[in-house]
Structure 1
């Protein structure tokens, strides 16, 4: 297996790992609820109702869990066992979010990994792949931020 090209600096990972996962999840869930408001209203995330998704950003030592209550994504406590775990490094999540790499490539190269309910994993992957970026609020600002983030990240790692 090839060594990851870009790893998050351990000097920065340590402070991030001290932030409770619930706080990471709360910040992320609030942002995703705004970002996917139309999709949530249209029922596109109903397949996640009552289920738990754990996201692990391995090189940044970040782990958080989200759940969906039928109306919004919520930060979940650590006591719940996740139905699905997504694992990857900062660089690969940035590439996925910026659409510089497609999800199939990242999964087939084992740069992003899923563990658990593969049907749920496929549904999440299909949901993300089907999103038309131009339909999202603030898509221009997001594109600019993500593209600059990828370039900066690749320069400093």
Structure 2
């Protein structure tokens, strides 16, 4: 049994730096993770209710807000500003704990550590979808794709 994730938050100076960085790489990685993770549990056509919807994922302690949208061919980064249909906010630690299944989204929500704003039905659909993803498998797959992604985006590599 692995040890439980310890409590932590990123210090304000780190958030001040991160908030000035381009968000596209994080949105791209999240979009790839969602495509891979959802592709393992549901067929693409079952994601029809998400098509055309826009999302914001905010890691409040890191100063990071990732904007992405669902298209018929999958998730993709979206450039702000736009009004998301669904916005989910938590600390990095709480997002990781959700992915590791150490924390329940309902518990975090009622403890006010997870904020969900926007379309309620969409929020429930996304919650159930995210609960079905094996994030450990997704992380391994993304790490395996990292060298090819770096070669594509970094000149001379």
Bin for the TM-score computed over the shorter chain: 0.7 to 0.9
* Cα distance in 1 for residues equivalent to 2:12 and 2:126: 29
* Cα distance in 2 for residues equivalent to 1:30 and 1:132: 13
TM-score (norm 1): 0.75
User: What is the match of residue 137 of structure 2?
Assistant: 138
Structure 1 stretches of 5 or more lacking a match?
Answer: 143-157
Q: Could you tell me how far 1:78 is from its partner in structure 2?
A: 0.3
User: What is the match of residue 118 of structure 1?
Assistant: 120
Structure 2 stretches of 5 or more lacking a match?
Answer: 1-6, 142-157
Spell out the pairing of 1:1-157 with structure 2 (5 A cutoff).
Answer: 6-39=8-41, 41-129=43-131, 131=132, 133=134, 138=137
For residue 53 of structure 1, give the secondary structure of its aligned residue in structure 2.
strand
Q: 1:122 to 1:18 in 2, by over 3 A?
A: same
**Of Structure 1 and Structure 2, which has the larger fraction of its residues in helix?**
1
Q: How many residues align?
A: 135
User: What is the match of residue 151 of structure 1?
Assistant: none
Q: Could you tell me how far 1:128 is from its partner in structure 2?
A: 1.9
Q: 1:111 to 1:35 in 2, by over 3 A?
A: same
* Cα distance in 2 for residues equivalent to 1:73 and 1:123: 15
Say what the alpha-carbon RMSD is for the aligned residues.
Answer: 2.3
* Cα distance in 1 for residues equivalent to 2:100 and 2:136: 15
TM-score (norm 2): 0.75
